[in-house]
Amino acid sequence: MKHVFVLLSAVALLVAACGNSTSGNAVGQTSAGSTQPVERAVGKKAWYDGFEITVDKVTAKSLQDSQVQIDIALTYRNLINAAHRPGFDGTDNDTGRVGHLEWKDDSSDLEFTSPKIPGLAIGQGTAKREITVQEQFANLDQLLDTMVLVYGDTATNQTRIPFGPNGTVVTEEPRGISVGQTIGSGPTLQLASAYLWPSYAPGEKGKHELWIEFTFSCAESCGDIFYQGSAWTLTDPNGQQVHMDDRSPAVYEQPGPGGKTGSSYAVFVLDNVPSGTYTLNVKGTQDTIEFDETTQLQL
């Protein structure tokens, strides 16, 4: 099941209605060969790779020899309760899931400054690039009207954020799933939150990832805590069963009496997401923990 949400920013509509860029130049007044930059408020948001991403504004400046400098101001809202850097995994390895710029019949990579943002927090970032404009546009506003910030390629679940006032955002908004259950007694497993969003991995177009945040705690000594994908299963309303995916971190901890493990995530990759009740089964592995509990989620 896939939902595509199309968003159109009121801020962008206001820019279109006024017919001016925020630099004070009327549309059609600034030529592509001019050195006067054009700054445009965009204010459109979308979702990608665990973040809500807002394009706050974009600035275009003509340089020499058909070169144009593009600068994009971005706001990132981290959707999960763990520090994360856009386009990077939890250990700061580049995943390649960074955006690129498209316009007319051309495209270019972008140079991102993306901060590591604490869980559920907001941070600012930028993207920039000098591009060569092959076709002569009447003005920089016209060039910006054709531009789109794109995350993912055509073989993946894409997110597209256009800079033009009449362009529509193509994205899928994650679903936050109310969890909050506590199961087991020694140790106790807390399911704190869950999110369902498109998978952005190569070759997984149309698939979704379900991320479930959890912690273990022990009233008394409960030995070592070890969990990995082979021990967790999720069964959908149609009886289809999947194991926790290898992209979930395998964790080994020794919380001790009255201790608690750090927050982590179990990740399931789903081909389809039928609405209804899902059954989650969690088992201990490698004889390090006595745990075999089942609970339900509503998706």
CA distance 281 to 90: 25
The H-or-E segment that residue 100 falls in is strand 99-103
**pLDDT of 31:** 43
**pLDDT of 86:** 87
Q: Structure pTM?
A: 0.79
CA distance 143 to 27: 11
Quick one: residue 184, left, alpha or beta (phi over 0 = left, psi -120 to 50 = alpha)? Answer: left
| DSSP one-letter code for 219 | S
Report the chain (299 residues): mean pLDDT per 10 consecutive residues. Answer: 35 33 35 71 96 97 91 96 81 78 94 91 96 82 96 91 96 90 84 92 92 84 64 92 85 69 87 93 68 88
* Cβ-based neighbours of 103, under 8 Å, separated by 6 or more: 131, 143, 146, 147, 148
CA distance 197 to 199: 7
**pLDDT of 3:** 39
**pLDDT of 14:** 29
**pLDDT of 196:** 95
172, 122 Cβ separation under 8 angstroms: no
